[in-house]
Amino acid sequence: MTTALFAALLWLVVANVIAMLPSRDQHWRAAYALIAIGIPLVGWVTAQNGPVWGMLILAAGASVLRWPLIHFWRWLRSKNGTPAE
């Protein structure tokens, strides 16, 4: 296992532990930090292991951070003029 994959799996474990802890701001500060660390991490995994592993790690990260993605998707739809549901 490469160091990039090890770091990505460690990121996933840390993200899941953070999700189990109580938070007053619904984990948004932790989500911003995880996103800031996760984006370069996906690039590193892709550079070392190829696009298939990069897409797998991206999908795993998206499943952990699904609410920021849902809110981002809704924000994009509201900017296009399509009413959000």
Distance CA 19, CA 64 (A): 9
pLDDT band, residue 80 (cuts 50/70/90): confident
Find out whether 18 and 31 touch, Cβ atoms under 8 Å. no
Question: Which pLDDT score, from 0 to 100, does residue 84 have?
Answer: 56
Question: Which pLDDT score, from 0 to 100, does residue 26 have?
Answer: 80
Q: Could you report the per-residue pLDDT of 12-57, keeping only the tens digit for each?
A: 999 999 989 998 888 889 999 999 999 999 999 999 999 999 999 9
Interior angle at CA 17, CA 13 and CA 14, nearest 5: 40
pLDDT of 58 higher than 80: yes
